[in-house]
Amino acid sequence: MLDNVAVSVRDLRVSINNKEIIKGISIDFPRYAVTAIIGPSGSGKTMLLRSINRLVELIPDVKVSGKIWVRIGDELHDAYTLDPSYLRRKVGYVFQKPNPFPHLSILKNMTIGPMLNGIAKGKKNLERLAEEKLKEAGLWDEVKDRLNDAAWRLSGGQQQRLCIARALALEPEIILFDEPTTGLDLYNTKKIEELMVRLKEKYTVIAVTHSVDQAGRIADFIAFIYNGKLIEFGSAASVLKSPANELTELFITGRVLDGVKV
């Protein structure tokens, strides 16, 4: 397979309680680029994202078929034969709602993953790693004097950036974002969008968003998902300027919302 593919999905089907949510999606996500997955809510965007790091398996009565290949180092691995813990360490995830461990300190939020996973050992090394990743996520200056505060005391936007930093601390290869700026103010939205663009230098970024505008601002590639199927996939410029499919055009011009033509 091609060297520039980070995640390769083949005929992915996901059903919950025998109801098919993803109905046969095949897609190759390019390496070191930002790919935005857009589509109306309920189209299966989040489920596609969760299939990549197998978080989907936490849902009871879920069935997944098809193949997902994930690049770790120089090789593509079958995600569903890897140890899920190992996979999730290599494929980071940032959730829609900021979910730091509220009761733990900011520092502990950063170090608990690397510590339990054995990525860094010793207090010094862990703290150095935390500092480095907080800086990478652009949060260090705001929290460096209050590292021992509980995380729930941070603002929503800060919490989300902490979650990004926490994901970075595991030194993943791919980072998945699930509408990470939902409900955040403009300042934090802008900061996180800039961060996602910056991250593609070292990581592969795949981001679900329901905002076409946001996709335009951050993405190199855009995938449009509708009703559990991949409708269109291409470079951001081509998808946004001259969509090949009528449904895509309806969506990016705001005429399909939540699966209903308006």
Partner 1 sequence: MTTVRKSIFIFLGGFALFLALILPLYFFGELYGASEFFSKFSFLDFILGREWSLSEQKYGALPAIYGTLTTAGLALLITMPVSIAAAVAMTELLPEWLSEKLGIIVDVIAAVPSVVVGLWGIASLGPFLSDTLYKFLVENLGFIPIFQTTTLTAYNKLTAALMLGYMITPFAVSVIKENLRLVPMEIKEAAYALGLTKWEVIRITLSYIKPGIFAALMLALGRAVAEAVAVSMVIGNTCSFSVSLLEPACTLTTLIINNFAEATGIEAAALIGLGLVLFVISILMVLVSRLIYGKLLGGYMR
CB of 213 to partner 1, least distance (A): 26
Closer to partner 1 by CB, 102 or 259: give it: 102
**Interacting residues with partner 1 (CB under 8 A):** 53, 55, 58, 84-90, 92-93, 95, 97, 99-104, 112-113, 116-117, 150, 152, 163, 166-167, 170
User: Could you give the C-alpha distances from 72 to 12, 75, 164, 187, 192, in angstroms and in order?
Assistant: 20, 6, 20, 34, 25
CB of 74 to partner 1, least distance (A): 21
Strands 91-94 and 174-178: parallel
Closer to partner 1 by CB, 84 or 138: give it: 84
* Distance, CA of 243 to CA of 237 (rounded, Å): 9
Give the three-state DSSP class for 85.
Answer: helix
CB of 216 to partner 1, least distance (A): 27
Count of all residues that appear for the chain in the document: 262
Closer to partner 1 by CB, 93 or 226: give it: 93
* Distance, CA of 257 to CA of 261 (rounded, Å): 7
Closer to partner 1 by CB, 24 or 156: give it: 156
Closer to partner 1 by CB, 15 or 117: give it: 117
Query: Encoding tokens for residue 222?
Result: 């855009």
* Distance, CA of 30 to CA of 2 (rounded, Å): 9
